[in-house]
Chains A and B, each alone.
Chain A
Amino acid sequence: MALTKAAMAEKLFEQMGINKREAKEMVDAFFEEIRTALERGEQVKLSGFGNFDLRTKNERPGRNPKTGEEIPISARRVVTFHPGQKLRTRVEANAGTFEQ
């Protein structure tokens, strides 16, 4: 089962005693503010979690994998995520328990 916004809101409701509507709005606002900052071209640094960075990519030649036709991939700006030391360490510490 994947973690969703609904489960995150449920946890805020249970742990903080805010109502369900406020909890849902809080989760929405959290992701919306991160998107807005990235849209402005601003890096987002969340200590203990990781950084969302922006990279600008130049136009490069591409190919339609179905037809083999050459089409340029246009210049674009993309988001990359770099997990922080604390997140990486916590994941590694628990990796022994993962099912293969």
Chain B
Amino acid sequence: MTKSELIEAIAQKQTQLALKDIDIAVKTMLEHMVESLENNERIEIRGFGSFCLHHRPARTGRNPKTGEKVELPEKYVPYFKPGKELRDRVNLT
């Protein structure tokens, strides 16, 4: 499912808002979530999951082709932990 299919799916289940408004709403929500992570602020959605940043310390890596050492700086990567309802609904057993 892509973003536009998600927008369509939301539109089909309600009658109050025009497709254009749902499009704006979805983009606004995603932008809000990105801004939150950009500021190292957690996102907590009950029944869905939580997003936060994980810190990766600097390390010495290697170029797998040449075997040459490369210094990799520390970085922050977004991490998602699914919530209980999502885990249960997705798990088939």
Contacts and interface: CB of A to CB of B under 8 A. Distances in A.
Interface residues of A, number: 56
Interface of B: 1-3, 6, 9-10, 13-14, 16-17, 21-22, 24-26, 28-30, 32-34, 36-51, 53, 75-80, 82, 85-87, 89-93
Contacts of A36: 9
A92 B39 CA distance: 10
Contact of A45 (B1, B41, B76): B1
Describe B's contact surface by its main secondary structure.
Answer: mixed
Contact of B25 (A16, A31, A88): A16
Interface of A: 1-5, 7-8, 11-12, 15-16, 18, 22, 25-27, 29-31, 33-39, 42-50, 52, 54, 74-81, 83, 86-88, 90-95, 98
B20 to A, nearest CB: 11
Contacts of B25: 12, 16, 18, 26, 30
A96 B47 CA distance: 32
A92 B43 CA distance: 18
B53 A76 contact: no
A56 B89 CA distance: 14
Contacts of B51: 81
A71 to B, nearest CB: 15
Given A46-B30, A87-B34, A3 B43 contact: yes
B34 A49 contact: yes
A11 B28 contact: yes
A39 to B, nearest CB: 5
A29 B13 contact: yes
